[in-house]
Structure 1
Amino acid sequence: MATTKDGRERAEWPLTIQEMAQRSGFSEPTLRYYEKVGLLGAVPRDDSSGHRRYDTPLAERVGALACLRSSGMSVADMRRYLALLDEGDRAAAAEQRDLFARHADRLAAEIERLRVRQAYLRAKADMWDARHRGDAAAETHAVEQVERALQDF
């Protein structure tokens, strides 16, 4: 049992938008946006208050979207993933594989770009450290590292 703000116990399901935001890591505006763009479908509303209520299946869908989003997947790709789920595992398996493989390839390219940036920043830090210490040989070496890193940009 969960408790309300005033300390009363209430059933854990369905969740309010605040509870869903807390569980998923999404903000309330993001949850509303995902509903608006069709990633969640129509979120049921409480009859008396009209507030959104997230049941177990919807919470599981939000959880899956949270995993996809944390991997950097775009809304368009999340939408495609959900559409493929509706086609069934076997029918859409090859397309799901391709969707995730493309995303993994994009992440690999992004990681490589970050490694190049990191090498550049490390070399610049080494250069300034050598300059601070008055070590001309180390500074020359660091400048060469900076130039190599710039070639990779």
Structure 2
Amino acid sequence: MSEILTIQQTARRTGLSVPTLRYYEEVGLLDAVPRGSTSGHRQYDDATVQAAEALACLRATGMGIEDMRRYREHMARGDAAAADQRALFAQHVDRVTEEIAALEVRRSYLQQKVALWSARETGDAAAEARAVEQLVDLADRL
């Protein structure tokens, strides 16, 4: 017999908040969750909890709702959707790679701001000039 969990227990197990679980059900990322006949409270079965755990992992990677929806649609098709799943994740890798590159530029810009203010603090005009030069270059890439 499978374990039935409340929404709070499911939230603790998956790391998703109660409002997020409700939202995922509302937008169809999770199948409709049955409710107790007397309490009316949602009752999460093993399959639904596992689906929520998978969505929590995808969310942690920064995957958006539409891609999570496609993932679930592909999962329903099983191995026949392997190429589609691969493409979905490959596209997400590309997006994450672009985000990392943008973050690296931001980090470099901030590091040069630190260098600039350190140079001004110590009165090192040459270091300040180098920092300004780097900042001008990085500002174009922001």
Tell me which interval the TM-score lies in, with the shorter structure as reference length.
over 0.9
- Please, what is the CA RMSD of the aligned residues? 1.2
Equivalent residue in structure 1 for 2:132, among 113, 128, 143 = 143
1:125 has 2:121 as partner: no
Equivalent residue in structure 2 for 1:25, among 8, 11, 15 = 15
Deviation at 1:133, TM superposition (A): 1.2
Equivalent residue in structure 2 for 1:104, among 68, 93, 102 = 93
Amino acid at match of 2:28: G
Runs of 4+ in 1 over 6 A off after TM superposition: none
| CA distance, structure 2, for counterparts of residue 14 and residue 98 of structure 1 | 35
Higher helix share: 2
Deviations 1:64-85 (A, max 9, x none): 0000010011111001011011
| CA distance, structure 2, for counterparts of residue 14 and residue 129 of structure 1 | 59
Deviation at 1:32, TM superposition (A): 0.4
Higher RCO (C-alpha 8 Å, min separation 6): 2
Q: % of aligned pairs identical?
A: 55
Question: Structure 2: any 5+ residue segments left out of the alignment?
Answer: none
Instruction: Give secondary structure in 2 for the equivalent of 1:66.
Output: helix
**What is the correspondence of 1:1-153 to structure 2 with a 5 Å cutoff?**
13-89=3-79, 91-153=80-142
